[in-house]
Amino acid sequence: METTLRGVGVSHGVAIGEVRHMGTAVLEPPAKQIPADEAEREQGRARQAVEAVAADLVARGNLAGGEAQHVLEAQAMMAQDPELIADVDRRIAVGSTAERGVYDAFAAYRALLANAGEYLAGRVADLDDVRNRIVARLLGVPMPGVPDSDEPYVLIARDLAPADTALLDPTLVLGFVTEEGGPTSHSAILARALGVPAVVALPGAGEIAEGTVVAVDGSTGEIFVEPSQEKRAEMESASAARRAALSAVTGPGATSDGHKVPLLANVGGPGDVPAALEAGAEGVGLFRTEFLFLDDSKQAPSEEKQVKAYRAVLEAFPEGRVVVRVLDAGADKPLEFLTPADEPNPALGVRGLRSLLDHPDVLRTQLTALSRAAEGLPVYLEVMAPMVADRADAKAFADACREAGLQAKFGAMVEIPSAALRARSILQEVEFLSLGTNDLAQYTFAADRQVGAVSRLQDPWQPALLDLVALSAEAARAEGKSCGVCGEAASDPLLACVLTGLGVTSLSMGAASIPYVRATLAKHTLAQCERAASAARAADSADEARLAAQAVLSGE
């Protein structure tokens, strides 16, 4: 009998197929003692397994490219952490087998991370994945991960480690559903980059039996278990209609009455550029440069290496606009050489612009590299700072840009409620604003973006968040400056219309979402978008806001 479950839709599209579960069994090796004369051989086995797993992760990264590559390379570095390896050696020296030594050393490291603050909610999943891979190799059992299947399937997992998300084959994996993870988790961002329909934060999904047919709606977050023939037909035809509508609309982003809203792409490096161009992105609205910094947690990449990566992205958009965000380290993206190790709550600590102002040499090198990368190119370079709290922050950033001789527009991200509340004051120092709605929601609702249990509060339709967007857009309009959105909110087609109605001037998102947003925007006038925005702001909850906007836009 058909039953319906509801999670959070994070990547558009419909997938209908049989369920396959991710092989996530935690392999706990037996705790047996080995004689002292076997320790050296076991230590050798452990090292070999670590090296092989690290090499495999790097190879998967090379295959995947883009943001996924950086995430996988960071995981490979985790596997080779010298302190972790020293701990494995120590445990083997006092009688552990290689597999047990690895298992226990990772457990100790995990406990350390889990007690060190919130960003680690995401990192712990990565660490467990690395441990499972090494232990599986040592035990000679199949690697945990994406199921081995020749038939297309819907993947269900507790959470998806970046290593697996990166390897999902869109022709075999029809869609995926996870029990954990929020709409702004890095798994969700990667799913959108792949263009695979996905639903997250659905506790109980793990209980759907292997082989059961499910229909997944990545837009509404609904999962129909054993859908009736009628339901399948209805979803398939809705999906076909959507695809047809998508390919019918091309060109720059605009409402049906010609109000222009440039549609830009979020990229993590040159690897994401082809998909952005294919989707018809009019430029880049968020270049997350921190992925360049994840290769080596001990030092920043050289100026030369940075120039090369920046130039590759800038060259791809002649006459286009490219908004580069300077390094956003800390919280869920810690860097050893920048991020204090002992913060009780890293999301509220020294992260983003705060780290850079503490390490002016790192900021200076990045700005110089950007300036060199843009030399002689006909691109409109804009550079913005993450986590700007007030006018003093904005001034410090603009001063640093001027001192580096950067020929670009300087901007501030609005990710902290104080920045939205005092947007006009910040705009005295910078030329544009860009709303990072992922962090803005996190800080407005005191809801960690990595935690599935609080994903209700991460919903960008929350009227309080819309109020902050409106404040920022109104301030920019009053100052004659621009205010875009580059958080995940921009990738929801209906919300994109509401954001336009609130006065936002550009929308930046993962490339796969651009056609959906373009097609939806083209169906409505600016006045309709404004009415939908007022209706959404008048609501008392995210669900009510969504329904109210939907009612206005569908002409009810």
195 near Mg ion, rule: CB under 5 A: no
Q: Both tokens of residue 329?
A: 């380290």
Q: Please say which residue, 137 or 288, places its beta carbon nearer to Mg ion.
A: 288
Residue 549: closest CA among 257, 538, 488:
538
Question: Considering beta carbons, is residue 449 or 531 the nearer one to ligand PEP?
Answer: 449
Q: Kindly tell me which of 404 and 485 has the beta carbon lying closer to ligand PEP.
A: 485
Q: Please, what is the minimum distance in Å from the beta carbon of residue 149 to Mg ion? A: 36
| Helix locations, 390-455, DSSP H | 391-403, 417-421, 423-426, 437-444
Q: What region, left, alpha or beta, does residue 480 occupy, with left being phi > 0 and alpha being psi -120 to 50 degrees? A: left
Q: Which is nearer to Mg ion, 164 or 328 (CB)?
A: 328
Which amino acid, 259? H
Q: Identify whether the C-beta of residue 291 lies closer than 8 Å to the C-beta of residue 280.
A: no
- Give the separation between CA 246 and CA 512, rounded to whole angstroms: 11
Question: Does residue 186 have an active-site annotation?
Answer: yes
Q: Which is nearer to ligand PEP, 218 or 510 (CB)?
A: 510
Report the partner that residue 546 touches, choosing among Mg ion, ligand PEP, none (CB closer than 5 to 8 A by kind): none
Name the phi and psi angles at 252, rounded to 5: -65, 155
Q: Return the closest-CA partner of residue 486 out of 466, 505, 461, 465.
A: 505
Question: Minimal distance in Å, beta carbon 279 to ligand PEP?
Answer: 18
Q: Which is nearer to Mg ion, 270 or 436 (by Cβ)?
A: 436
Residue nearest to Mg ion (CB): 439
Name which of Mg ion, ligand PEP, none residue 493 binds, using a CB cut-off of 5 to 8 Å depending on partner kind.
none
CB of 170 to ligand PEP, least distance (A): 23
| Closest listed residue to residue 546, CA positions, set 530, 533, 528 | 533
C-alpha dihedral sign at 21, 160, 510, 555 = positive
> Where in 392-431 is the site for Mg ion (CB under 5 A)?
415
Considering the complex, what minimum distance in angstroms separates the CB of residue 413 from ligand PEP? 7
447's tokens: 């809801």
Active-site entry in 12, 359, 483, 486: 486
Please say if 486 is a catalytic residue. Answer: yes
Residue 129 binding target from ligand PEP, Mg ion, none, CB below 5 to 8 Å by type: none
Select from Mg ion, ligand PEP, none the partner in contact with residue 437, using the beta carbon and a kind-dependent cut-off of 5 to 8 Å.
ligand PEP
Distances (CA, A) of 122 to 161, 218, 343: 9, 22, 17
Q: Give CA–CA dist 163/54, Å, rounded.
A: 11
Tell me if 343 contacts Mg ion by CB under 5 A: no
The H-assigned helical ranges of 140-176 are: 162-167
> CA neighbours within 13 Å on the CB side: how many for 212?
20
Q: How far is the CB of 34 from ligand PEP (least distance, A)?
A: 46
* β-pairing verdict for 222-225 and 3-6: antiparallel
Which does residue 159 bind out of ligand PEP, Mg ion, none, counting CB within 5 to 8 angstroms by kind?
none
Closer to ligand PEP at the Cβ: 239 or 500? Answer: 500
Contact 425, 392 (CB under 8 A): no
* Binding characters for Mg ion, 436-465, by CB under 5 A (x = yes): x--x--------------------------
**Per-state percent for the chain, helix, strand, coil, to nearest 5:** 50, 15, 35
DSSP character at residue 143: P
Q: How far is the CB of 435 from ligand PEP (least distance, A)?
A: 7
Contacts of 86 (CB under 8 A, 6+ apart): none
Per CB under 6 A, residues contacting ligand PEP are 286, 288, 328, 415, 436-439, 486-487
Of the two residues 286 and 504, which places its CB atom closer to ligand PEP in the complex? Answer: 286
Helix pair 542-553, 526-538: axis angle to 10 deg: 150
Strands 198-200 and 8-11: antiparallel
Say which entry of ligand PEP, Mg ion, none residue 288 contacts (CB below 5 to 8 A, set by partner kind).
ligand PEP
Q: How far is the CB of 441 from Mg ion (least distance, A)?
A: 10
| Given the residues 12, 186, 359, 524, the one annotated as active site | 186
Q: For Mg ion, how many residues bind (rule: CB under 5 A)?
A: 3
Binding site for Mg ion (CB under 5 A): 415, 436, 439
Catalytic residue numbers, as ranges: 186, 486
